[in-house]
Amino acid sequence: MIGKRKRDTTVVSRSKKDGDREESPAATKSSAKDIFRKFFEAQFEPLGIQSGAGAAQEESGFGSGFESDTSENSDSESEWSGITGEDNENVPVEVVDYTTTSTRADDLMDKRARKAFMTAKPPSFSTDLTSTTYHSKQSKDDKGDRDDEELNLKNDLALQRLLKESHLLESASELAPTGKNRHKALDLRMQELGAKNSLFHQKNMPSSMRKGIKAKAASKDEKRRREARENGIILEKPTPKSNSSRGRRERGVGGPSVGKFAGGTLNLSHRDVAQVQSSRRGGGNGRERGRGRR
């Protein structure tokens, strides 16, 4: 900060020190014209216009080089006297300073650029000076966008739920299910999120009851399909029956590996007996081996 202030003051003092401030822009303008003129003359033939005081050459070396250039290019041109060495000796050498005044750089941008550059981090050159305000505005816009996005998402979710659960609603005035219906809606959502079965699924019940429920569901479905077929309505294909009875049932740990344990007795069916007798590597062998080891 202190360095910054000091630098400012020095700049100010310099501009005061210049004194002939009104003259310097004119000088630079004329010198710019001078450059253009030189370029033109190097390409074509010298112009007859006499240059002003500001168009004096900055160095004798440059002047002489220029002169040799012109002499090479146009020997016959007599009206162009050129800048001779004697002239340079007589006229005091004027130094034209091409330094542009730094007043153009506004302080705010300077400060921002300084902040971006003079950090401990390696400066990321990607941030442009001019686009900083744009960035801040854009970020504000971004925030508004984000809010909108959030609201849209919320509305979308509410609509989806309404569509899925509207059959539970009793009246059109109430858009959120209450009481028992709320539980049902929750159950639906749970299933949608991947629950294995419904919250209302009763795990244990008499088998006759379960059979009855299954039979009722099957008959309902069958009736629906039949009516649809009669009316010529095409329904979805019936889901394949899951044959869960086939194959080996998952048994609990600690249960008998053979036979059926019920009422405190192990019942062996004929099949079980045959299996035990037929197999070489039945339970008996293993048990004997285990005892021997013990």
Partner 1 sequence: MATSQPPIRLTSHKNFVYRLVFSTLTGRTVHISQIRPSSPTNPGLAPHEISFLRLLEAVTNGSQMEISYTGTILVYKPGLITGSAAGAGAGSSGGGVIRHEIPAGCTRGVSYFLLPLCLLAPFSKAPIKVLFTGPGVITSSTPTGDMSVDSVRTAILPLFNQFGIFNNIELRVLRRSNPGPNGRGGGGEVQLVFGHQVRLPKTLHLMNPGKIKRIRGVAYCVGVSASNNARMIDVARGILNPFVPDTYVFSDVSSAPLVPASDRNNPSAKKKTGLGFGLSLVAESSTGCLFSADVASPPSGGQPPEDIGKQCAYQLLETISKGGCVTTAAFPTMIGLMTMGSEDVGRLQVGRDIVGDESAIQLARDLVKFGAPGWGLRDASDEEKTGDVIISVVGRGIGNVGRKVA
Query: Minimum distance from CB of 101 to partner 1 (Å)?
Result: 10
Among 87, 94, 110, 187, binds partner 1 (CB under 8 A): 110
Residues 6 or more apart whose CB falls under 8 angstroms from that of 199 comprise 183, 186, 187, 190
Please state, in angstroms and rounded to a whole number, the distance separating the CA atoms of residues 154 and 177.
18
Among 68, 102, 219, 279, binds partner 1 (CB under 8 A): 102
Among 21, 114, 146, 189, binds partner 1 (CB under 8 A): 114
Please state, in angstroms and rounded to a whole number, the distance separating the CA atoms of residues 264 and 256.
12
Query: Minimum distance from CB of 83 to partner 1 (Å)?
Result: 23
Please state, in angstroms and rounded to a whole number, the distance separating the CA atoms of residues 176 and 108.
55
Q: Which is nearer to partner 1, 11 or 228 (CB)?
A: 11
**Nearest residue to 260 via CA among 252, 250, 269:** 269
Cα 58 off chain centre by: 56
Please state, in angstroms and rounded to a whole number, the distance separating the CA atoms of residues 210 and 224.
21
Please state, in angstroms and rounded to a whole number, the distance separating the CA atoms of residues 192 and 164.
10
Please state, in angstroms and rounded to a whole number, the distance separating the CA atoms of residues 57 and 95.
8
Cα 183 off chain centre by: 39
Burial status of residue 50 (CB atoms within 10 A of its CB: 0-12, 13-18, 19 or more):
exposed
Establish if 95 lies at the interface with partner 1 (CB under 8 A).
Answer: no
**Nearest residue to 63 via CA among 81, 77, 49, 76:** 81
Establish if 283 lies at the interface with partner 1 (CB under 8 A).
Answer: no
Binding mask 135-174 for partner 1 (x = CB under 8 A): ----------------------------------------
Q: Which is nearer to partner 1, 2 or 253 (CB)?
A: 2
Q: Which is nearer to partner 1, 4 or 223 (CB)?
A: 4
Among 49, 95, 118, 234, binds partner 1 (CB under 8 A): 118
Query: Minimum distance from CB of 142 to partner 1 (Å)?
Result: 23
Q: Which stretch binds partner 1 (CB under 8 A): 121-129, 140-148, 159-167, 172-180?
A: 121-129
Q: Which stretch binds partner 1 (CB under 8 A): 50-58, 82-90, 92-100, 234-242?
A: 92-100
Tell me which residues in 2-31 interact with partner 1 (CB under 8 A): 2-4, 6-7, 10-11, 14
Q: Which is nearer to partner 1, 133 or 155 (CB)?
A: 133
DSSP character at residue 193? T
Binders of partner 1: how many residues, by CB under 8 A?
26
Residues 6 or more apart whose CB falls under 8 angstroms from that of 66 comprise 38, 57, 83
Q: Which residues bind to partner 1, rule: CB under 8 A?
A: 2-4, 6-7, 10-11, 14, 97-100, 102, 105, 110, 113-114, 117-118, 120-125, 129
